[in-house]
Amino acid sequence: MISQPAVNRTYNPRQLALHSLLLVIGKGRSLDDALANILAKSPDLEGRDIALCREIANGVCRYYYVLKHLLKPRLRKAFKSKDLDLEIIVLIGMYQLLMMRVDDHAAVNESVKLTLRQKKSWAKGLVNGLLRQLIRDEVSIEALATDISYPDWISHKIRADWPDHSTEILQAGNQRAPMTLRVDLNQITREQQIERMREQGITADAHPLIESAIVLDKPCPVSKIEGFELGLVSVQDAAAQLAAELLDCKPGMQVLDACAAPGGKSAHILQTCEAVTLVAIDKDESRLALIEQNLHRIDQQAHLKCGNAIQPDDWHDGVLFDRILADVPCSASGVIRRHPDIKLLRRDDDIPNLVLQQRAILLALWPLLKPGGVMVYSTCSIFKDENEQQIAWFIDNHKNCTVNRLNSVQWGHKRPFGRQILPGQECMDGFYYAKIHKTMMKTD
């Protein structure tokens, strides 16, 4: 049995990182959930300790496959599954030695202390010996091929889909994502907001392509950003800010956000055109509360419904929509730099299931769109089967649609259908967008 965390105010950041990683690697929980859960049990932890815990937990996920690759030849035998905590302690030590500017002695000592805290004093020689061996071998992560930091299936799929861009995609996925804000341009100009933040000591630049986006030089807690509580700014990647622009809502329109939680794009839709009726649905009831909080902070309202986009009969009142946003569940392969735990949690065989779900969502939503209306399909994926191939299939099976060529936009790569932003391109997450128009024909 792996020792589970208990409430204990003497936890240190490395121990909290260990407990978070046990939830991710041992139980398949997302790192965001795991960290929220574990950090909530240590309310007295200081800001810099929280930052250290996050840095270690994210870093071990980001370099998990490289660290394991380096560790394997140095192990006489693999760790037993009941000693997953020990293996993670060694990976945490390795990450500090190889990627953080932690003094060698401190990295080894802290790892041995963690072993004792896990009540496995029998293993302190093992942990100490493995880390000292890595120091003696002068191992360097940078010298290793980027592919090694991904599970094989992800690097193969990226190489197959993007042969001319694969190296830059794999490298971008190992970078830290910038913190990007969306400015409510009805309340403040972007330049005013940048200036106000500069006065607070927070430096940032206007995004070169997205007029509402500001990219911070260094991430900082939202509570420190002037205007956040008042809804003047929200945290949202620049690529995600394109959905509202593509929908191009007009006053009086009926708009559906069909996979809406946590509500980032719903909020933006309402800020760009307040005088619409927005129905925001999500099938996960607990996540619906997040939409409510987000809209409350920016003082906007929508009709929130818990519902499955694939079964509109359960939630749709029969009124057709002028605009539909289908921001479908996907592999999230475009946001690995933001969520490095995806490397550990996502499996090859998840993809065909996701493709089927996305297809079912498209099929179910299409009849809800008025003739002359627009549906925007989006994913934070870079895999072609979830993106352009999905839309190719859709138009092959529907006569009453045309796909906008998006010729005039400056962002992303033009694809046979839609546009693809690759991770890191113009400071953006990897995103795919297609804009589908419903023609005036009567058949669906």
Ligand X SMILES: C[S@@+](CC[C@H](N)C(=O)[O-])C[C@H]1O[C@@H](n2cnc3c(N)ncnc32)[C@H](O)[C@@H]1O
Contacts with ligand X, residue ranges (CB under 6 A): 240, 259-265, 281-284, 287, 308-310, 327, 329, 361
Spatial separation of the C-alpha atoms in residues 104 and 97, rounded to whole Å: 6
Residue 254 or 331: which CB sits closer to ligand X? 331
Peptide bond before residue 13 is cis, with ω within 30 degrees of 0: no
Spatial separation of the C-alpha atoms in residues 362 and 436, rounded to whole Å: 11
CA distances 355 to 17, 75, 226, 328, 342, Å, are: 34, 40, 41, 10, 17
The CB-of-386 to ligand X minimum distance in angstroms stands at 11
Residue 166 or 241: which CB sits closer to ligand X? 241
Strand locations in 328-430 (E): 369-379, 401-403, 413-414, 419-421
The CB-of-218 to ligand X minimum distance in angstroms stands at 24
Taking each helix axis from N to C end, the angle separating 104-117 and 13-21, rounded to the nearest 10 degrees, works out to 60
Spatial separation of the C-alpha atoms in residues 361 and 444, rounded to whole Å: 15
The answer to whether the beta carbons of residues 271 and 184 sit under 8 Å apart is yes
Contacts of 212 by beta carbon, 8 Å cutoff, 6+ apart: 182, 183, 184, 185, 190, 241, 268
Tokens of residue 345, six digits: 């949690």
The CB-of-306 to ligand X minimum distance in angstroms stands at 9
Residue 32 or 284: which CB sits closer to ligand X? 284
Other CB atoms closer than 10 Å to residue 408's CB: what's the count?
6
Residue 13 or 173: which CB sits closer to ligand X? 173
The CB-of-192 to ligand X minimum distance in angstroms stands at 25
Nearest residue (beta carbon) to ligand X: 259
Spatial separation of the C-alpha atoms in residues 209 and 211, rounded to whole Å: 6
The CB-of-216 to ligand X minimum distance in angstroms stands at 20
Provide the edge-to-edge strand list for the sheet that holds 213-216: 204-206, 213-216, 180-183, 233-235
Amino acid in position 58? N
Q: Which residues of 415-437 are buried (b: 16+ CB within 10 A; e: fewer)?
A: bebbbbbbbbbbbbbbbbbbbbe
Tokens of residue 205, six digits: 């630049």
The CB-of-280 to ligand X minimum distance in angstroms stands at 9
The CB-of-81 to ligand X minimum distance in angstroms stands at 31
Which of the residues are catalytic?
380
Tokens of residue 130, six digits: 């493995």
Residue 25 or 309: which CB sits closer to ligand X? 309
Nearest to 258 by CA among 293, 224, 223, 307: 307
Residue 45 or 260: which CB sits closer to ligand X? 260
Nearest to 429 by CA among 219, 153, 204, 178: 178
Look-up: residue for tokens 């800001």?
Answer: 47
Question: Reduced to 3 DSSP states, what percent helix, strand and coil does the chain have, rounded to the nearest 5?
Answer: 45, 15, 40
The CB-of-346 to ligand X minimum distance in angstroms stands at 14
Other CB atoms closer than 10 Å to residue 85's CB: what's the count?
24
Residue 74 DSSP class: G
